[in-house]
Structure 1
Amino acid sequence: MNDLLNLHGYGPMLAQGAWMTLKLSFLALALSLTLGLIAAGAKLSSAKWLRVPATLYTTLIRSVPDLVLILLIFYSLQLWLNDLTEMFGWNYFEIDPFTAGVVTLGFIYGAYFTENFRGAILSVPVGQLEAATAYGLSRWQRFHLVLFPQLMRFALPGLGNNWLVLLKSTALVSIIGLSDLVKAAQNAGKTTNEPLYFLILAGLVYLVITTLSNRVFKRLERRYNLGIKGMAR
């Protein structure tokens, strides 16, 4: 494969970078989906002490560039940990770039997923939930039997779009020292004096991942649109 693609022996490094990008993306996605559901519920809550912090969270995150937030969260967390360990006399603890990348991207894109879920929840007919309550379903049963399947139908297009943006944003974490696909391509390009070639290869890898992702989301959309006339294609 190295000879076929003329990778000058950098094939394993690029493969490791691609695997790092995938791990980072999926873990950040899991975190952002969790935060998104929680924050969406908080924004729709009648309790002001839940609604106000959730609104501040989404407003702040969506107003500040991702690169600024990555640097701010990464260095702020490290400084906070330094102060904490010094205060309690603990051993110095350094956040590794992978953990920092997952937490940072998950926290950032949790705000975008929040608005996806909030809009989707509002799109579910209130009568559906009222009927579920009338049938005596518990809060959890109403959520996973009635609300969740319907909100996913409305949320999936936006979720798919945000997933692709999150995937591409993993390239930003290379500035905090994470050896992702972009970092590996940059290193290979500098060493071989062929930066354009290796960056094009990295772009093609991203293209393959996004193409497969689009197929997955199309299948999910067909699944959640079953029984909906004109939408289950």
Structure 2
Amino acid sequence: MGIDWQLLGFGPEGWGPVLLKAAGVTVSVSLCAFLLGSAIGSLVAWAKIAGNRWLQRLAGGYTVVLRGIPDLIVIYIFYFGGRQALAFFGQALGMQGPFDISGFIAGALAIGLISGAGQAEVFRGAYSTIPGGTLEAATVVGMGKGVMFRRIIVPQALSSAIPGLGNQWQSVIKESALVSVTGLVETMNQVQVASGSTQMPFFFLAVGAVIYLLITTVSEVVIRQAEKRSQRGQNTHQH
């Protein structure tokens, strides 16, 4: 049986517009999750490097737990647990339901929390690549911790962290497919709807795979360019 390629068109019978919109939602929820993960990861890395014993234990426990729990369970906790929490506080305040939480918000929070555990290790590893003599020299010349952080630690650590952060971004893109369980109309959810409506699951799952592959391929190109630019800056600085 031949494939009706008009199903991917932008006409009345085509799924092109909704698939394109769903791909945009995938990128959006992934970007929000990645940025949240970066914020969490940087704080956790700082706690592991410069925190006291209890902060180090707390940060270590966070990474162990988030790396040990299946991603889908974390998403379910945020989505269904979030709705229960909203209902509890809403009723306590005398508010009328229904109480719900956006699948986008729940997905971004859950994946961001998961990504934060991985990014923390990336940031910690990047910090360890900074030569100790560089930091000692900055201290000797009287550079304050804030200035040292902005001018030395952040530029050098980020340069080393780009490959690892790129891998984390690619992981977030793939993990975003799990957010479909919340009902958020992203790529995986829309592919499932199209599969059921047309009774062509293999075709639309293949289309979904191509969409994810395109997103990750473009991301890889951007990451490689960022990595080259950071290395060029390092070489220029060394010369």
TM-score in same-fold range (> 0.5): yes
CA distance, structure 2, for counterparts of residue 54 and residue 91 of structure 1: 38
Match of 1:199 in 2: 205
CA distance, structure 1, for counterparts of residue 14 and residue 233 of structure 2: 52
Selected match of 1:97 from 103, 109, 128? 103
Tell whether 2:38 aligns with 1:33.
yes
Offset at 1:49?
3.3
Selected match of 1:69 from 74, 89, 94? 74
Selected match of 2:156 from 150, 158, 162? 150
Match of 2:141 in 1: 135
Asked if 2 retains the 8 angstrom alpha-carbon contact of 1:117 and 1:155, the reply is yes
Offset at 1:67?
1.1
Asked if 1 retains the 8 angstrom alpha-carbon contact of 2:6 and 2:14, the reply is no
Tell whether 2:223 aligns with 1:217.
yes
Identity %: 36
1:49-86 alpha-carbon deviations (Å, 9 max, x no partner): 32222111111000111112111232222222222222
CA distance, structure 1, for counterparts of residue 160 and residue 229 of structure 2: 12
CA distance, structure 2, for counterparts of residue 77 and residue 31 of structure 1: 18
Tell whether 2:179 aligns with 1:173.
yes
Selected match of 2:232 from 210, 219, 226? 226
Root-mean-square deviation (CA, aligned residues, Å) is 1.7
Selected match of 2:52 from 47, 62, 72? 47
1:113-144 alpha-carbon deviations (Å, 9 max, x no partner): 01111111122112212222223323222112
* Alignment: residue pair count: 227
Tell whether 2:62 aligns with 1:57.
yes
Give the TM-score normalised by the residue count of structure 1. 0.91
Provide the secondary structure at the position in 2 that maps to 1:226. helix
Query: Counterpart of 1:163 in structure 2: which amino acid?
Result: W
Asked if 2 retains the 8 angstrom alpha-carbon contact of 1:150 and 1:224, the reply is no
1:128-170 alpha-carbon deviations (Å, 9 max, x no partner): 1222222332322211210112112321221111111110111
Asked if 1 retains the 8 angstrom alpha-carbon contact of 2:42 and 2:120, the reply is yes
Provide structure 2 residue ranges, at least 5 long, that are not aligned to the other structure. none
Asked if 1 retains the 8 angstrom alpha-carbon contact of 2:126 and 2:160, the reply is yes
Query: Counterpart of 1:6 in structure 2: which amino acid?
Result: L
Per mean C-alpha deviation after superposition, the further-off stretch among 80-89 and 158-167 is 80-89
CA distance, structure 2, for counterparts of residue 119 and residue 216 of structure 1: 22
Offset at 1:5?
4.7
CA distance, structure 1, for counterparts of residue 179 and residue 57 of structure 2: 30
Match of 1:22 in 2: 27
Within 5 A, what are the aligned runs for 1:74-85? 74-85=79-90
Provide the secondary structure at the position in 2 that maps to 1:72. helix
